[in-house]
Structure 1
Amino acid sequence: MKHTAGMTTAARLGRWLGGVWRGWLRAERRVHRWLMAQGLPAGGAAVLIWGGKLATLGVLLYVAFWVALILVALVVAARMAEQTPGGDDDFDLQFPASLDELRQTPGYDPNLYNDTSHVMYSEED
């Protein structure tokens, strides 16, 4: 039996993220000192650093917006493809299926259909 408890994955992740955060802060302080060494006042350096942070945040939000929009479009396309009719046997034709039904439609002209057995058919058209 172990006498010491091992470190959990969550604790390792937390320590790693803490190290990354501390490294980021050290780099930020280094940039701040470099800007002040170049002759920029401390307030101006802070404003410049915050401007960089906001610009980075804006770019990330822009990219996230387009990724989300593409994902929504893919989901909508998948839903539309899912709802297309398969091969239903109950399919009703949208046009008359027989010559008798065709003759009953409004505006029927036997000359257009070469219906020679109809009384109104004429070969002169």
Structure 2
Amino acid sequence: MTTKTRPGNAERLGRWLGGLWRGFMRQERGVSGWLIARGMPAGSATALLWIVKLAVLGALLYAAFWIALLLVFVVAAAWTAGQTSTDREDEHSFTTLETLRKKPGYDPNLYNDTSHEMYEED
């Protein structure tokens, strides 16, 4: 019986993210060393890298804000569309002859209202 287990998805994701982080830190050290080799003081190189990191973070937060706002509008529009009444029976309901007779300009010949006193047979 073997006790060797395979790594799960969470462990694989953690290792992948750790590799990305290590690669990013390696690149950052390379850029810092390149700036220092070009004559920039070490403190200024570190400050410049922090400024770049904060600018990237700000851009990501800006994009996330607009995406979230767009999502709020989509959810609000969907909620509003779901709240509209689909009861349109009153709007297009059939009327009775009594209601039609009370309207001005009623012509019994148009409605084949044979019980009306003004109905004329052709």
Structure 2: segments with no counterpart, 5+ residues: 92-98, 106-122
Name 1:29's counterpart in structure 2.
29
Displacement of 1:66: 0.2
1:69 aligned partner, one-letter code:
L
Aligned residues: 100
Q: Deviations over 1:99-124 (max 9, x none)?
A: 8689xxxxxxxxxx9xxxxxxxxxxx
Query: Within 5 Å, which residues of 2 pair with 1:1-125?
Result: 1-90=1-90
The SS at the match of 2:6 is: coil
Name 1:105's counterpart in structure 2.
none
Q: Distance in 2 between matches of 1:55 and 1:4?
A: 45
1:84 aligned partner, one-letter code:
T
The SS at the match of 2:32 is: helix
Q: Deviations over 1:71-113 (max 9, x none)?
A: 000000001111111134356xxxxx778689xxxxxxxxxx9
Matched-pair identity in %: 50
**Runs of 4+ in structure 1 over 6 Å off:** none
Q: TM-score normalised to the size of structure 1?
A: 0.69
Q: Distance in 2 between matches of 1:82 and 1:9?
A: 39
Question: Aligned-residue CA RMSD in angstroms?
Answer: 2.4
1:35 aligned partner, one-letter code:
L
Q: Distance in 2 between matches of 1:61 and 1:28?
A: 22
Q: TM-score normalised to the size of structure 2?
A: 0.71
Q: Distance in 2 between matches of 1:76 and 1:10?
A: 35
Q: Distance in 2 between matches of 1:28 and 1:83?
A: 52
Q: Distance in 1 between matches of 2:3 and 2:16?
A: 25
Q: Distance in 2 between matches of 1:67 and 1:99?
A: 58
